[in-house]
């Protein structure tokens, strides 16, 4: 029994180190909180960027559809009227210059 009183118990060692460990644990918890906030901020940023990308892809699909319709109309006109393709191309260039 005298051995126990002369050597510090694990509980006593923990109690002696506790103020330092508490401060370190609080620092770690604060860093963890900051990291979690940064993760949430970056996640929100990523979601916003994905939304913008989806909108841009939608606009691109609309423009590609318009382009294919114009090309189809140009091909039909060229088949019916000789030289219409050239005139249609000029008209498109004029429209692009204004848009």
In this structure, are residues 16 and 8 in contact, taking their beta carbons and an 8 Å threshold? yes
At residue 51's C-alpha, the angle toward residues 53 and 37, to 5°, is 120
pLDDT, residue 54, reads 96
How many angstroms separate the CA atoms of 29 and 35, rounded?
10
Closest CA to 95 of 70, 64, 77: 70
**Kind plus residue range of the DSSP H or E element containing 49:** helix 10-80
Q: Structure pTM?
A: 0.52
Please write the tens of the pLDDT for every residue from 11-65. Answer: 555 555 577 788 899 999 999 999 999 999 999 999 999 999 999 999 999 989 9
Q: Which of 87, 62, 61 is nearest to 74 (CA)?
A: 87
């Amino acid at each position: 029994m005298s051995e126990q009183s002369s050597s510090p118990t694990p509980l006593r060692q923990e109690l002696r180190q506790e103020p330092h460990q508490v401060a370190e644990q609080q620092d770690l918890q604060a860093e963890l909180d900051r990291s979690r906030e940064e993760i949430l901020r970056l996640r929100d940023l990523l979601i916003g960027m994905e939304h913008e990308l989806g909108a841009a892809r939608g606009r691109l699909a609309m423009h590609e559809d318009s382009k294919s319709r114009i090309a189809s109309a140009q091909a039909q006109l060229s088949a019916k009227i000789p030289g219409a393709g050239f005139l249609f191309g000029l008209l498109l260039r004029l429209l692009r210059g204004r848009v």
